[in-house]
Chain A
Amino acid sequence: DAGVIQSPRHEVTEMGQEVTLRCKPISGHDYLFWYRQTMMRGLELLIYFNNNVPIDDSGMPEDRFSAKMPNASFSTLKIQPSEPRDSAVYFCASRRSGTSGRALSYEQYFGPGTRLTVT
């Protein structure tokens, strides 16, 4: 299994430009999560999808941020226009819903992240 794939791994852009981050979840996983990590705020959940439908976007900082999941194997997080304060590492994670048996696992599989720098 290739794991969660994110691209690009590094992105440097100028303020005001549009940025698109991409994620391919693990095959068969029906939940997808976007997180942002900064030194100041730590690891924050931005939005998550179930079966390609956005379930909770309460963590999305503002209207400049949008996320889509057109199919089960692809999701994008877009920032337009970007600002220096958006500089962070953005992680995508996926998981498979439910398990039978003793407990539902919360095991989320994280991608390697995209380090975004907005100058």
Chain B
Amino acid sequence: DAKTTQPPSMDCAEGRAANLPCNHSTISGNEYVYWYRQIHSQGPQYIIHGLKNNETNEMASLIITEDRKSSTLILPHATLRDTAVYYCIVRVAGGGSNYKLTFGKGTLLTVNP
């Protein structure tokens, strides 16, 4: 699996956009980028995933650079409830053992009032 690098912590003002970076310079062509988050005392929650095109859903947007060596998760209007640890995971799509997720240390995003 491609290794990911994320800043350990970030702050964001409530109502502003939160931009969380992830480096995955060793990503291979068939590996997807996935984002999960974990709010304190809860289980991780899936946010979004993508291969090479930018993706958007009701929770966030995912911007992947053209060379796919890095990506940014964007929470367009952060709220206090978005305070959580955000995990960037790179994994090959497919069945069997490819369903395993390896969580790193992630980024602790703190949204301030």
Enumerate chain A interface residues (CB-CB to B < 8 A): 4, 31, 33, 42-43, 45, 48, 50, 55-56, 91, 93, 95, 97-98, 103-113
Q: With A42-B104, A43-B103 given, is the CB distance from A110 to B95 under 8 Å? A: no
A selection of 14 A-B contacts at a CB cut-off of 8 Å is: A4-B43, A33-B101, A42-B103, A43-B44, A55-B96, A91-B44, A95-B99, A97-B95, A106-B34, A106-B46, A108-B101, A112-B42, A113-B41, A113-B42
Contact B99 A48 (CB under 8 A): yes
Q: With A97-B95, A103-B49, A104-B94 given, is the CB distance from A110 to B44 under 8 Å? A: yes
B interface majority secondary structure: loop
Contact A98 B95 (CB under 8 A): yes
Across the interface, which residues of A come within 8 angstroms of B34, CB to CB?
Answer: 106
Closest 4 CB pairs of A and B: A110-B43, A43-B103, A107-B46, A104-B93
Q: Flag whether B81 is at the interface (Cβ < 8 A).
A: no
CB proximity of B37 to chain A, nearest CB, Å:
11
Q: Flag whether B91 is at the interface (Cβ < 8 A).
A: yes
CB proximity of B22 to chain A, nearest CB, Å:
15
